[in-house]
Structure 1
Amino acid sequence: MNTTPFKVSVSDDVLDDLRARLRRTLFTSASDPTYWAAGTDPDHLRDLVSYWADGFDWRAAEDMLNGFEHHIADVAGTRVHFVQVRGVRPEGAPAPLPLVLSHGWPSSYVEMLPVARLLADPGSHGGDPADAFDVVVPSLPGFLHSGLPDGPFTRERVAGIWHELMTGNLGHRRFGAFGGDIGGGVTQWLGALYPGQVAGVHLTSAVVSADFEAAPPTAEEQAYLDHLAAYDADDQGYSEIMCTRPDTIAAALRDSPAGLLAWISDKYRDWSDCGGDLEARWDRDTLLTVATLYWATGSIGSSFRQYYDYVRHNRRVPPVTVPGAVTLSHEPAFAHYPKSLAERVLTDLRHWSTPRNGGHFMAHEEPEQVARELRAFFRPLR
């Protein structure tokens, strides 16, 4: 295996500088009297920043992260960080199925850690030991400890890197794939490009095919597309600047940890199934663990690359013929999403579930639910 053990380690100098910057934060006033109506609420941000500076215990978070097995792999010249949670195989049980879990933005491998433990050792969590997985959780290129590849960042390109990681570096002949958001796009491409090695693909953020030439949208599909366009009109300001002027906003976020926290926590609140209460889904320590990782690695700007390259370089996913599953994310962007849209891309859709629990970051929000869904889908594919 061409991998090197890795430990998460942030120097005291970086932490001291972070806390000094947080204590010097200049705050704005709210633009709208309605709570969070104009973005991250300044009073909420003030409380979070105060806790980040003088209450949050990064060393405890670091110890928690290092309780997992981390590695760095060189995959075709690209530095790839990943967490590995090895499946528990009782005597007489079948070998665990390898499974790669892919996160999105502004997420990280931290999102996948709670469900990874459930998947690797189901026997210790009320499940059947025969359902164990060997879990691999990579950091997307340009995110946290992973480097950017040469050339454009596309979901197709990342799928190629993941395939080489799983089959070349780790030696797996066959594996499953799970993801949402960007990770969902990568997961679709894995199924489309490597049907001989990919046992099945499981998505939480449903797919929308742009190919309506052969079959125009049905009335139900068009109603959903209209809903999505209306939602995007209010939500996609963050995306427009990251797609067109990423370096401009990255300069501000790299210099201000409070700004970084405001930028990402806005999406954690909007996209989680939290009913407007961010900390109902993300306790402060977990949210600040993610923020500290982005800050300490200086990777917020490189995490924007997949936005900047999206329209210029991504092509439409071809039909995915391997077995497919969708556990639909309960977030505004996918309200009223029809199953038929997923079937336009996943031609062998075997599992469709709309639990109405767990949003954009479902693996963190509802890890037991995700573990159950993955076990059920992959059980006959082992």
Structure 2
Amino acid sequence: MSQQTQSYFVLPEATEEITPFTVHIPEDAITDLKQRLKQIRWPDQELVTDWSQGVPLAAAKKLANYWGNEYDWRKFETRLNQFPQYRTLIDGVGIYFIHAQSPHANALPLLLSHGWPGSIIEFMDVIERLIDPTKFGGKAEDAFHVVIPAMPGFGFSDKPRELGWNPGRIAKAYAQLMTEKLGYKKWVAQGGDFGSAVTHSLADMQPEGLLAAHVNLLFVVPDKYPKNPTAEEQKAIDGIEAYLNKKSGYADMMNTRPQTIGYALDDSPLALATFIYEKFWEWTDNNGKPEDALSMEQMLNDISLYWFTGTGTSAARLYWEGVGSTIRTHLFFAASRAATGIINLPMAATLFPSETFTPPKKWAEAAWSDIFYWNHVDKGGHFAAFEEPDIFAEEMWKVFQSFR
């Protein structure tokens, strides 16, 4: 059956066939959003002069005003519809994906996996760089066919109606998309955030045709911290502890009570916007405000996708599914171990300086048996492709050269 969201948007029923898909949000949904933004009940101003209590009131008002009075969803919708989009049924769930094919011969199929609070929108500015590198300083032999699925419960993919859609199950669905649905005989994978967890799972599974994988968030923490850590290890440990003790409140809520936080995320555009906007502040390479790294329009493209598809709750459930009750003490440990303990597929990593966690290579060497590429870049954060499309694309060109 087709699915009705909270904002008047109905997804077409997915079938086993690959069906072309075009985005068109009903005007009623846009009008409803603007009306809600006019009726905000504002809280008191924060009692600090920074972001330590959350998004400052002035910043929240600026964001809401831009969304309600200046932002143009139709502009982004037109841009999105320039890329070939599809839906197909996999494991009982309709999966939406962009499939942008290169004009160059022998292009390598590349699966890009997003996370939360990102979306397929993270990759908008890298698609053309990847499918036609010659327009951006690259070579024809660097080209990719790009496949970007929306995770179940995100964007224009269906919302799962049963438990069990964790990163491992998503990885199996993505492998089926690449091999059975699209017919690729050889391909590579890349991911960040929960997309990295999916990519780790793919690398562990080694599905047919998967040659290598790359991540920009590395889940490679040892089972126990070293007794005498090096300076690099101590920095990584400090980062993990700071996250667990001071920065994981958002994850605690989604990990333990996704339905409860979902009422705010799917009913209040301000709640949704500030919940995501705060992550753009905390996780990007910025000088104090999110707009240093991403434009207001870029951030609202992502936020609006969550709003118009009514996926605040269903996306939050990925935390509940993916980590369980371990968030406070074992978030990274739980995600760092694949089923076999060691990943044997060729693995690559690019470390961006403002990522939430940057482990030393020796930790990766203990978890991955074949590291064929390891690089630190000088700018960028958690949303690598979104923040630094040029750097990200150039990394992809270099990373997968030897697998063509």
TM-score normalised by the chain length of structure 2: 0.88
Q: Which residue of 1 aligns with 2:69?
A: 54
Structure 2 vs 1, CA of residues 87 and 115 (structure 1 numbering), >3 Å: closer, same or farther? same
CA contact (8 A) 2:256 2:324 kept: no
**Corresponding residue SS for 1:81:** strand
Give, in whole Å, the separation in 1 of the partners of 2:26 and 2:308: 9
CA contact (8 A) 2:179 2:185 kept: yes
2:28 to 4, 10, 13: 13
CA contact (8 A) 2:115 2:193 kept: yes
Question: Is 1:321–2:344 an aligned residue pair?
Answer: yes
Q: Which residue of 2 aligns with 1:37?
A: 52
Question: Is 1:84–2:137 an aligned residue pair?
Answer: no
CA contact (8 A) 2:354 2:379 kept: no
Shift of residue 196 of structure 1?
A: 4.4
Counting aligned pairs with the same residue, the percent is 35
1:121-169 Cα shifts (integer Å, max 9, x gaps): 0111111101100000111111111124433121111110100000011
Question: Is 1:277–2:299 an aligned residue pair?
Answer: no
Shift of residue 334 of structure 1?
A: 2.0
Question: Is 1:230–2:230 an aligned residue pair?
Answer: no
Letter in 2 for 1:56: Y
Q: Which residue of 1 aligns with 2:151?
A: 140
Shift of residue 275 of structure 1?
A: 2.2
CA contact (8 A) 2:355 2:380 kept: no
Q: Which residue of 1 aligns with 2:215?
A: 203
Q: Which residue of 2 aligns with 1:194?
A: 206
CA contact (8 A) 1:177 1:202 kept: yes
Shift of residue 222 of structure 1?
A: 5.5
1:192-238 Cα shifts (integer Å, max 9, x gaps): 102542111111012223545xx956613355224311232110111
Note the 1:1-382 alignment, pairs <5 A: 2-89=17-104, 94-149=105-160, 150-194=162-206, 196-212=208-224, 219-220=229-230, 221=233, 224-312=236-324, 316-317=337-338, 318=340, 319-331=342-354, 333-335=356-358, 337-382=359-404
Give, in whole Å, the separation in 1 of the partners of 2:222 and 2:156: 33
**Corresponding residue SS for 1:325:** strand
Shift of residue 8 of structure 1?
A: 1.2
Shift of residue 76 of structure 1?
A: 2.3
Provide the alpha-carbon RMSD of the alignment: 1.9
1:263-309 Cα shifts (integer Å, max 9, x gaps): 00000110011122211222111111111111111001000111112
1:24-52 Cα shifts (integer Å, max 9, x gaps): 11212332331322111111111111121
**Corresponding residue SS for 1:79:** strand
Structure 2, unaligned stretches of length 5 or more? 1-15, 326-333
CA contact (8 A) 1:88 1:129 kept: no
Structure 1, unaligned stretches of length 5 or more? none
Give, in whole Å, the separation in 2 of the partners of 1:230 and 1:30: 26
Letter in 1 for 2:348: A
Give, in whole Å, the separation in 2 of the partners of 1:344 and 1:381: 23
Give, in whole Å, the separation in 2 of the partners of 1:207 and 1:253: 28
CA contact (8 A) 2:98 2:149 kept: yes
Aligned residue pairs, count: 375
Structure 2 vs 1, CA of residues 218 and 305 (structure 1 numbering), >3 Å: closer, same or farther? farther
Give, in whole Å, the separation in 2 of the partners of 1:32 and 1:202: 42
Give, in whole Å, the separation in 2 of the partners of 1:230 and 1:264: 20
CA contact (8 A) 1:192 1:320 kept: yes
CA contact (8 A) 1:206 1:329 kept: no
